[in-house]
Structure formats: C-alpha cells, structure tokens
C-alpha cells in the first residue's frame, strides 16, 4: 500500500494548532538536551503558543508542513529578508522525534530551497545554537557555511549564522 506524503502551506486554524504541538515536541528534545527554559529562551519554538505562531506568520513568512499518511510530521518556515531581496531565512525546521533519521528533514530543506529559488532568492540563511554541533554538522553536509557567530542579548547561547548559495545547486 503506497504511503501518502506531501508538503503544503500551513495556514488554517487546525494547521496552526497541529504545528504548535509539532514544534513544541520537536524543539522540546533540544530544549531538554541543552537545559533551556522558557524564562531563559522565550523565543525558542519549544515554548511556542498558538498566538505566538500566528503573530510570527505574517508576511513575508510562509510555513510549510510535511504530512505522512495525513499526519503532520514536519515543518519549515521561509522568510524573505527585509534588507536583501536575494536572501531568505529558513526557520522552524522540525521533524517529529519519532520520524527523525528517515530523510524527512532533507526533503523539507530541499522544498524550502525550491520555494526560495521560485521567489527569486539566491541565498538561504539559517541561525542555530552555536553549541549544537550535531545540527551544525548536518547543515554543513547540506552545503551551508558558517558566516558568523555572535551573542544575542535575549538568548543564553551564541547563535551561529550559516548560509548556502542556491545558485550552485542543492
């Protein structure tokens, strides 16, 4: 029996509710691993609420969800830079913990790259915890290079910024 797998724009009330649950579970594993709390990292998706996600999803942010047999198992957001029309940010990339290591993150990332290229973007940019070495290495294998690292006032960790030139392929 074939498996139904698709990625689509998330925007309905039920989409938002389901995505909040997914983000909290997915980013929650990282929050626990690095001992993050809502008080110290209130903008971390592990602590997102429906109202916070709705506020975040204003133009130019678009949220996509991956469904596996009708169940939301992953998501990724794409945001156009307000300073540079060529640059887009990839954010909130998440895969349900029980679905990890099956290539779904790769598929979501490639989907985001395609949406960025279709919109005329040439560069994908991400920000992540600098001390999350496993995730940083995963992005390096996907063609990202570190561009900077800096402390952000409201975060208890340094943020590593990485980018990928999308004009040279996936």
CATH of domain 5-168: 3.40.630.30
Q: Is the pLDDT of residue 137 over 90?
A: yes
* pLDDT tens digits for range 34-45: 999 999 999 999
Mean pLDDT over 57-83 rounds to 93
**Would you place residue 60 in the very low, low, confident or very high pLDDT band (cuts 50, 70, 90)?**
confident
Cα separation, 10 vs 30, in Å, equals 23
- Say if CB 69 and CB 104 are below 8 A apart: no
- Say if CB 69 and CB 57 are below 8 A apart: no
Q: Which position has the higher pLDDT, 154 or 127? A: 127
Please state the pTM of the whole predicted model.
0.93
- The pLDDT value recorded for residue 1 is 33
* Closest CA relative to residue 30, chosen from 50, 42, 44: 44
- The pLDDT value recorded for residue 2 is 44
Structure tokens belonging to residue 130:
């600098």
- The pLDDT value recorded for residue 118 is 96
- The pLDDT value recorded for residue 4 is 55
Averaged confidence pLDDT in the chain: 93
């Amino acid at each position: 029996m074939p498996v139904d797998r698709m990625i689509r724009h998330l925007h309905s009330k039920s989409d938002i509710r389901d995505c909040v649950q997914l983000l909290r579970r997915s980013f929650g594993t990282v929050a626990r691993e690095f001992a993050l709390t809502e008080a110290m990292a209130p903008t971390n998706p592990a602590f997102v609420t429906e109202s916070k996600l709705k506020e975040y999803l204003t133009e130019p942010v678009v949220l996509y969800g991956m469904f596996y047999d009708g169940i939301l198992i992953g998501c990724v957001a794409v945001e156009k830079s307000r300073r540079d029309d060529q640059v887009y940010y990839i954010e909130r990339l998440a895969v349900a913990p029980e679905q990890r290591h099956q290539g779904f993150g790769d598929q979501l990332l490639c989907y985001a790259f395609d949406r960025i290229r279709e919109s005329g973007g040439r560069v994908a940019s991400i920000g992540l915890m600098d001390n999350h070495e496993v995730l940083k290495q995963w992005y390096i294998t996907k063609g990202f290079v570190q561009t900077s690292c800096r402390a952000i006032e409201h975060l208890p960790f340094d943020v590593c910024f990485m980018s990928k030139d999308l004009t040279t392929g996936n």
